Amino acid sequence: GQQVMQIPQYQHVQEGEDFTTYCNSSTTLSNIQWYKQRPGGHPVFLIQLVKSGEVKKQKRLTFQFGEAKKNSSLHITATQTTDVGTYFCASRKGRALTFGSGTRLQVQP
Amino acid sequence: NAGVTQTPKFQVLKTGQSMTLQCAQDMNHNSMYWYRQDPGMGLRLIYYSASEGTTDKGEVPNGYNVSRLNKREFSLRLESAAPSQTSVYFCASTVEGGLDTIYFGEGSWLTVV
The SS3 assignment for A101 reads coil
Q: B16-71, pLDDT tens digit by residue? A: 999 999 999 999 999 999 999 997 678 999 999 988 889 999 999 999 999 998 99
Integer-rounded Cα radius of gyration of chain B: 13
Among B27, B22, B2, smallest CA distance to B91 is for B22
Which secondary-structure segment (H or E) carries A5?
strand A4-7
The answer to whether B99 faces chain A, any CB pair under 8 Å, is: yes
The answer to whether A39 faces chain B, any CB pair under 8 Å, is: no
CB distance A45–B103 less than 8 Å?
A: yes
The answer to whether B33 faces chain A, any CB pair under 8 Å, is: yes
Q: Model confidence at B1, in pLDDT bands (50, 70, 90)? A: low
Determine contact, residues A89/A48, Cβ cutoff 8 Å. no
- Residue B102 distance to chain A (closest CA, Å): 7
DSSP string across chain B = ---EEEE-SEEEE-TT--EEEEEEESS--SEEEEEEEETTTEEEEEEEESSTT--EE-S--TTEEEEE-SSSBEEEEESS--GGG-EEEEEEEESSTTTS--EE---EEEEE-
Q: Is the pLDDT of residue B110 over 80?
A: yes
Determine contact, residues B18/B80, Cβ cutoff 8 Å. yes
The answer to whether B106 faces chain A, any CB pair under 8 Å, is: yes
Query: From the candidates B95, B101, B108, which should be mutated to test the interface with A, based on the most A CB atoms within 10 A?
Result: B101
Q: A51-105, pLDDT tens digit by residue? A: 999 999 999 999 999 999 999 999 999 999 999 999 999 988 777 788 999 999 9
Query: From the candidates A3, A10, A42, which should be mutated to test the interface with B, based on the most B CB atoms within 10 A?
Result: A42
The answer to whether A47 faces chain B, any CB pair under 8 Å, is: no
User: Tell me, what's the pLDDT at B99?
Assistant: 59
Is the bond preceding B8 in cis, omega lying within 30 degrees of 0? yes
